[in-house]
Amino acid sequence: MPAVDFKPRARKREVLEIEIPDWSELDHQMADGRPFVLWRVGYQSLLHHWLDHAINSDVGFLRIYCPGKPHLVRQAMEDATLCPIDWKLIPSRTPSA
């Protein structure tokens, strides 16, 4: 029996949904006008931490609900060229909205 199994794992086609709250009413209190999901936590943005989690969890599709400044989140996702997950950004508060 080999010590290491080199067979690639089949990617699950699970969907991860992320709901980003709209805190834009706090923009005047914050020096940074970006959505909080783009704020840096350590060496990368919170969004990129979530992408890492999705990749490590074998998520196949990411659905992002973002009512506040979705153009900035879309740009960050488009710039995340190393993310192998298909995604869709929905400028809505929740799936039912």
* 82 within domain boundaries: yes
* 3 within domain boundaries: no
* 95 within domain boundaries: no
* 2 within domain boundaries: no
Q: Has residue 51 got a pLDDT over 80?
A: yes
**What does DSSP say about strands 86-90 and 59-65: parallel, antiparallel, or unpaired?**
parallel
Query: If you average pLDDT over residues 64-91, what whole number do you get?
Result: 89
Nearest to 34 by CA among 47, 43, 53: 47
State the pTM of this model.
0.69
Residue 6: pLDDT band (50, 70, 90) is very low
Nearest to 89 by CA among 55, 59, 66: 66
Domain count, the chain: 1
Query: If you average pLDDT over residues 3-9, what whole number do you get?
Result: 49
Domain limits for position 41: 14-24+33-90
Q: Has residue 44 got a pLDDT over 80?
A: yes
